[in-house]
Structure 1
């Protein structure tokens, strides 16, 4: 019996040593990664990584927690297979990273969050969408955003044109949480993020009733996130396997439930309709 155990243990150890290692970067953006509290480990992106891990036993999955402001730097300069979920695939980023062909996550486009007191001064009641360009350039409002984040080409181009005095960029740990607190204190006029992020962070403050979320008219209905890895031959081979796995994963009910988990209920139908079209 002992001999059998030793043989099995040696086999498993040997298998693990032969398995190819891949490191996934985890960043401080709830509810995509949740590091503490009741929902610890139940972040949307964490769940998708777990599904990939189950589907790809030939790889040893490792994880690195890193501030979001340093994630792309780490991804670009890593010498081992290093990847990140839910990256926008922009032309600039394609020069720096390899990307999966299949999208890994689908979500509603970024929204702006405003304090209701500020919103009441610049726009009519009961609207659900507004122009980010008009808010910044016509109403002279100050925008808060997290560093190194992309929100899609149209929105990114607007942000690039905002004067420095009308823009606050936060880096470091929990940057969007910090911006949400600033919004509550009216130190910024609006912040940009994603519906689930705003909902989660506002609920942590227990002050949801003081905020309003609005769709950005310059943004598409939904956004697709891809698996992005450092540029190497090994990463490219890994991503080929990722694409095969994602093709199966995305057809599952578990995946659909994961994508909807942190979407505000009133917006879930919009995302369900997008699932049907993809």
Structure 2
């Protein structure tokens, strides 16, 4: 069961975790709503890509007590920095994060990255010429965008957002797509599967289009399990890597990685699956 983490709930969960730690090994799986990777409500609850991977790992690590905690993403990072015995399925490895977390082999892929706009505005953006995020952030500042606080998307996009930060940030994906749908944002930089899922969740499956742009990732971005960078975390990640080595080539695991992908993206995902298997 996924528990929502108010302050009282957090203290209770940590107390329970402390009790479990006294009795044996434990993992607190932190969850942040990022459908279709982690789905925290609705009819597809707990059936996202990262959710299914988390259940697989939980089943394969029976000697650990497992707790699941729903928290904002900045709280995930703060807990890892403080050395809590927490793990998160779906973290992107960056040099900054490697200073406080340890990462498993890749568990899935984020691909392809797009400039997502309302369908009615497609011609407006295409008229700007070959799309460039740099140009949008420097020459078209009146076009409004937003980013998730503390998120790592892809190296080129991350560098541009650091250099030219948008004037606003958001705390959860549904909020951003509602703002885009309602005209309070003009575009988002987002992965195709995430945009497709949220359009359907908003009851407007044809509301958004994803446009290629110059700085998009030509290779997939690989999310991983990230755990606290402690001896405990390194031990857990070693166990996780052993499970992934056995599972990632199986048809069942492929079906997890491909779940929720747009039909048009499946050939691209399948074409790079071998590089996913070879990655570490």
Q: Would the aligned equivalents of 1:24 and 1:64 in 2 still touch at CA under 8 Å? A: yes
TM-score of the pair, normalised by structure 1: 0.84
Residue 146 of structure 1 corresponds to 148
Looking at structure 1, the residues matched to 101 and 260 of structure 2 have their Cα atoms a distance apart, in angstroms, of 28
Give 1:159 deviation, angstroms: 0.6
Residue 89 of structure 2 corresponds to 85
TM-score of the pair, normalised by structure 2: 0.84
Q: Comparing 135-144 with 257-266, which one deviates more in the overlay?
A: 135-144
Instruction: Tell me which structure has the larger Cα radius of gyration.
Output: 1
Stretches of structure 2 that go unaligned for 5 or more consecutive residues are: 1-20
Q: Cα–Cα, structure 1 residues 153 and 73, in superposed 2: closer, same or farther, change >3 Å?
A: same
Looking at structure 2, the residues matched to 153 and 185 of structure 1 have their Cα atoms a distance apart, in angstroms, of 29
The structure that is strand-richer by fraction is 1
Looking at structure 2, the residues matched to 30 and 43 of structure 1 have their Cα atoms a distance apart, in angstroms, of 7
Give 1:48 deviation, angstroms: 0.4
Q: Would the aligned equivalents of 1:103 and 1:226 in 2 still touch at CA under 8 Å? A: yes
Q: Would the aligned equivalents of 1:26 and 1:64 in 2 still touch at CA under 8 Å? A: yes
Deviations 1:154-198 (A, max 9, x none): 1101111225xx432012xxx221111111121111112222211
- Aligned residue-pair number: 255
CA RMSD of aligned residues (A): 2.3
Give 1:19 deviation, angstroms: 4.4
Looking at structure 2, the residues matched to 276 and 96 of structure 1 have their Cα atoms a distance apart, in angstroms, of 30
Residue 15 of structure 2 corresponds to none
Secondary structure of the structure 2 residue equivalent to 1:208:
coil
Stretches of structure 1 that go unaligned for 5 or more consecutive residues are: 1-15
Pick the aligned partner of 1:119 from 93, 112, 122: 122
Q: Cα–Cα, structure 1 residues 19 and 104, in superposed 2: closer, same or farther, change >3 Å?
A: farther
Looking at structure 1, the residues matched to 124 and 113 of structure 2 have their Cα atoms a distance apart, in angstroms, of 22
Superposed, 1:18-97 pairs within 5 Å as: 19-79=24-84, 81-97=85-101
Give 1:134 deviation, angstroms: 2.1
